[in-house]
Amino acid sequence: MSSSRGPQASCGARRWGAAVLALLVCTLVSPLRAQTPAAAPSAEAEDDPARALPEGAETEGDPEPEGSSPASETRSEEAAPPPPPPKVRPQVAADANKAEEPNEERPGRGARVYADAEHGLAIDSADGNYGIGFGFLGKAAFENRTTPDGESDPAFRLLMARPILRGHVFRRWIDFFVQFELAGASARLVDAQLTVRPFDAVGIRVGQFIVPTSRSYMTPVPALQFPDFSAANDFFRAGRDIGAMFFGSVLNHRLEYYAGIFDGRGIDLSNKTDGKLLYAGRVGWAVFGGKAPKSIGMPPAIAYDETAALKGPLPLGLHFGLSAFHDTFARTQEIVDPDTRRTTQEVLPDSRRTSVAADAMFQIAGLYSAFEIYHDWRVEDGGSEQRGLGSTAQIGQFVWPQRLELVARFSFITPNIALSRRSLRSYEIGTNGYIYGNNLKLQLRYALDDADLQLRSFQPGITHLLTLQLQAML
């Protein structure tokens, strides 16, 4: 054994010589490596954070390699460059409402196809600048309405069947949203909007979309506490219309604004044909509560969500808003000649409507509450004037976190303050069962409507309405 290994002195000298040579090589090479940029991680390593670290770096908590010495650790700390910051995929950065990063070529990567309950079926390009998504919103309900004369009208109804198309082109801040309604007598287009928002403070939206005149109406339908909007909101708000709108948020998203010009004919383009425009605007202020995530087709500043507690206990939130719109109608009436029986159109003085609404929202933990008050003026050039007043107050509390919620709402409408005794009062209570968040929920609501006048679908007297509604969304 000893003859085969050689003399011990010679062996020891060779070992020491090798160690000195290795130390010298490391001393010369380490500064050169410090000046050489690290190679870009491969696409395979990018998916694995541990494999994406620079050569020679260690992940937190990994054991030290055998044979390491304090001298080598000192050289590593002095010479090794700091690790590059972690890369963020473009779609993640956009979802976090951050500035868009430069596009990168990604060898071996193609379009990203995914499907989930929140986005439906979606396809994104490799660079994140193009994407398209398909969704659906459906509502079906059993309703039993008892009229003031005691007649009952139970019925199953398909309330909504809305296919949805959404996406973005060229950049993530250029997005579109299209929604159709298939329920009812015939199909119709509900939304068709294009939004360009390169900065949080400035954006523009064109097409057919919601006129920003009410916090409740600007809340997406799937995120409502009740099966529908309140009676007062239906009466005083402006609906959807074709137009253009500037909007944005400043002061760390605590202050938002909307200003738009609209066609004034509404969603069906048949309300009027006089060419008069509708002007609308809104400002919102978040006293408490941070910025909300950006979502395609939804307002990106102050959160409009009555069911936000589905994601967990809510922080203290207090928001105020002020909205207004002005519209002008050209009025006509038919006159029949008693002799010739011919019908002619007589032009009447224009009718102008100005409506103002103020709202407040308070939330904390599992509680959400909101209040809105409406006041409008309807004036004819002939001099007659009519002032209306209305309000809505609602509250909801989760008694089983993320599963069961109790809700209550009160609405009040006086179409003409001069006839203050002629009004409508609506009382509602209900419960919401969230099977899978807003994607699958069951709502039970009882409403008592006490009317002193005929107002749209409300008859004078007391009407009872029981609603059991199922909502499904992808």
Which contiguous run of DSSP H or E holds residue 20? helix 8-35
Per-residue pLDDT band for 436 (boundaries 50, 70, 90) equals very high
Residue whose pair of structure tokens reads 């904390």 in the numeric block? 364
Per-residue pLDDT band for 118 (boundaries 50, 70, 90) equals confident
Token pair recorded at residue 110:
């193609």
**Taking phi first (over 0 means left), then psi (-120 to 50 degrees means alpha), and beta for anything else, what does residue 377 get?**
beta
Q: How many residues does the chain have?
A: 474
Q: What pLDDT digit, counting tens, does each position of 12-63 carry?
A: 444 544 454 454 444 433 443 444 444 444 433 334 433 343 333 333 344 3
Nearest to 324 by CA among 353, 287, 301: 353
Q: What pLDDT digit, counting tens, does each position of 224-241 carry?
A: 999 999 999 999 999 999
The residue-averaged pLDDT of 391-401 equals: 97
Nearest to 216 by CA among 445, 364, 470, 409: 409
Per-residue pLDDT band for 83 (boundaries 50, 70, 90) equals low
Q: Are 230 and 217 in contact (CB under 8 A)?
A: no
Q: State percent of the chain over pLDDT 70.
A: 68
Nearest to 310 by CA among 157, 181, 473: 473
**Average pLDDT, whole number, for the chain?**
78
Residue whose pair of structure tokens reads 């929202």 in the numeric block? 361
Output 130 or 51, whichever has higher pLDDT.
130
Torsion on CA atoms 290, 294, 299, 303, rounded to nearest 10: -30
Integer Cα distance of 23 and 21 in angstroms: 5
Integer Cα distance of 263 and 267 in angstroms: 10
The residue-averaged pLDDT of 167-186 equals: 95
Q: What pLDDT digit, counting tens, does each position of 337-394 carry?
A: 666 667 766 666 678 899 999 999 999 999 999 999 999 998 876 667 889 999 999 9
Per-residue pLDDT band for 136 (boundaries 50, 70, 90) equals very high
The residue-averaged pLDDT of 319-347 equals: 76
| pLDDT surpasses 80 at 213 | yes
In whole angstroms, how far apart are CA 7 and each of 17, 19, 445?
16, 19, 97
What are residue 295's phi and psi, to 5 degrees? -140, 135
